[in-house]
Amino acid sequence: MKVAVLASGRGSNLQALIDEWQEGSLPVEFAGVGSDNINAQALVRAEKAGIPVRAFLRENYSDKEAQEKDILNWFEELGAELLVLAGYMRVLSPSFIRQADYPIVNIHPSLLPSFPGLHAQKQALEYGVRVSGCTVHFVDEGMDTGPIILQQAVPVFDEDNVDTLSERILKVEHEIYPEAIRLLALGKVKRQGRKVTIYRHS
């Protein structure tokens, strides 16, 4: 399966995927990594792994639509079969999602549908939950509302702050994101409406 990635920042989730791929336990081909940030560490990580990279800077386009069209065209050239969002900080427009003829997946640092959007860890702490976690989900036209593929819980401790909770969640993200991509690549994920079924033993 040819996988394209969009990332805006340090790319730690991308690195987790690259590590598994280089170890031979992720049966995909990385077609390319794109970013809206020329200084994204994710681009450096991808280049180091020999993956094609490209930056799509918002200021180089007349509007968001033109930027997204360029991204879509590049992914089409690369033959992308799956788009993985790894810390991509821009919301994809409904028209991008409709035009992409491949699934798009994202990872979010909460147990959705709780605490969608930005600063999920801060939201969780302010609400006072005892358990948070992370969610891999398909991207739809809403904000973190797409069908859920995998989730894993992470405890919240009394002494936690945003940094300590974020770090604990990130460790789990690095485990479940590669697992979700592996299941998708092996054709073990079936989606019907909102319901996602995983066939681990078939």
Question: What was the pLDDT predicted at 202?
Answer: 57
Exposed e or buried b per residue across 28-48, where buried means at least 16 C-beta atoms within 10 angstroms of its C-beta: bebbbbbbbbeebbbbebbee
Global pTM reads 0.96
CATH classification code of 1-102: 3.40.50.170
Catalytic annotation on 108? yes
Which residue has tokens 């078939």? 202
| Three-state SS at 11 | coil
CATH level 2 (architecture), domain 106-202: 3-Layer(aba) Sandwich (3.40)
Residue 53: CB atoms within 10 Å: 18
Question: What was the pLDDT predicted at 201?
Answer: 74
pLDDT per residue as tens, the chain (202 positions): 999 999 999 999 999 999 999 999 999 999 999 999 999 999 999 999 999 999 999 999 999 999 999 999 999 999 999 999 999 999 999 999 999 999 999 999 999 999 999 999 999 999 999 999 999 999 999 999 999 999 999 999 999 999 999 999 999 999 999 999 999 999 999 999 999 999 987 5
Contact 25, 182 (CB under 8 A): yes
Domain-wise residue ranges, the chain: 1-102, 106-202
- From residue 112, give the alpha-carbon distance in Å to each of 127, 147, 161: 14, 10, 20
- From residue 101, give the alpha-carbon distance in Å to each of 80, 93, 96, 184, 193: 9, 14, 10, 15, 17
> Residue 31 carries which side chain, given as an amino acid letter?
A
Domains 1-102 and 106-202 share a fold: yes
Q: Of residues 108, 119, 137, 201, which has the active-site annotation?
A: 108
